[in-house]
Amino acid sequence: MIPERFKAFLLPIAILAIFEIWARVAHLQSDSLAPPSAIAVAFVEAFQDGSMLTATRDTLISAFAGLSIGGAVGLAFGIALGIFHIFDRLMEVTIEAIRPIPSIALLPIALIALGFGYRMEIVIVAFACVWPILILTRAAVGGIEPRLIEVSRALRLSPVDRVRKIIIPAALPRIFLAFRLAAGIALIVAVTVEIAINPIGLGAAIMTAQQALRPDLMLAYLFWIGLIGYLLNTGLMLAQRHLFGRAALVGDSA
């Protein structure tokens, strides 16, 4: 019996090996494909001359700045809508009208208003991150055990203390889940904006590699973007399990 851990690596290793052999046998000359060994060389080179790190920094700055702004807005509105049902019902139509706009459709608006660069990318990422956090926070706050709210009333906590001491701790596991989902979205949107139009970051770097007919470098960037996405997701998932233990499982089925 082959151990499970090994099985997971068997398929990618087999694909890479077959591809490498095929590329060597057929003397591959292509604008879109490159043998894995060439990709590895391009990866190391881009890493050593610093271009890959600069691009990574630009993308991550935009993604995290957008995530913090969008997350803060989503969190504030989500808590407010979760606490005040009147507010929630009054805002329903407005939210349902804005939410389905695909974030990338804002790209041309952000482009003429802010020009190229970090700012327009951050705005678009922030818009995309508001919604998952708002919706899940609202649900989390609305789903808090009513007795906890009663306790806070009996203790005569001020509204600020009620949010700080009762509501946020009680809803935190699900808010963190929302944050994890939004972090994934932030990275996706940031890379997409860069690929579509913005000349900074990993997305622009991979487009440049394609236009320079460097499939090895392009695929090296593709691998690196995938790795960042994977590490971000895995890291946040571990953090979620570590921080909240069993409580982290609450919203995961949703």
Partner 1 sequence: MNRPALYWRAASFAVAAGFVGLWQLIADQRLVSPVFLPGPDRAWASLVRGFASGDLLDKLLGTLEHMAYGWLVASIAGIALGALIGSSRTMRSYVAPSLEFLRPLPVSAVIPVAIAMFGLTQSMALFVIAFGAIWPMLLATIHGFSAVEPRLYEVARSLHMSRLAIIFKIALPSASPDILAGMRLSVTVALILSVVCEILAGLDGLGHWVLLSARAFRSADLFAGVMLLGVIGYLTALAMSMVEKRLLKWRSSGH
Provide the 8-state DSSP code for 246. G
Q: Following DSSP, what letter does each residue of 34-63 receive, concatenated?
A: --HHHHHHHHHHHHHTSHHHHHHHHHHHHH
Among 166, 178, 187, 200, binds partner 1 (CB under 8 A): 187
Residue 222 binds partner 1, judged by CB under 8 A: yes
Give residue 145's region: left, alpha or beta (phi > 0; psi -120 to 50).
Answer: beta
Residue 91 binds partner 1, judged by CB under 8 A: yes
Cα-Cα-Cα-Cα torsion 235, 164, 136, 243, nearest 10 degrees, comes to 20
Q: Provide the minimum distance between the beta carbon of 93 and partner 1 in the complex, in angstroms, as a whole number.
A: 4
Residue 203 binds partner 1, judged by CB under 8 A: yes
Return d(Cα 135, Cα 138) in angstroms, integer. Answer: 5
Residue 18 binds partner 1, judged by CB under 8 A: no
Q: Which amino acid is at 112?
A: I
- Binding positions for partner 1, 147-176, rule CB under 8 A: none
Residue 192 binds partner 1, judged by CB under 8 A: yes
**Measured from the CB atom, is 115 or 245 closer to partner 1?**
115
Return d(Cα 174, Cα 172) in angstroms, integer. Answer: 5
- Residues that bind partner 1 in the complex, under the rule CB under 8 A: 4, 7-12, 31-32, 89-94, 96-98, 100-109, 111-113, 184, 187-188, 191-192, 195-197, 202-203, 206-207, 209-210, 215, 218-219, 221-222, 225-226, 229-230, 232-233
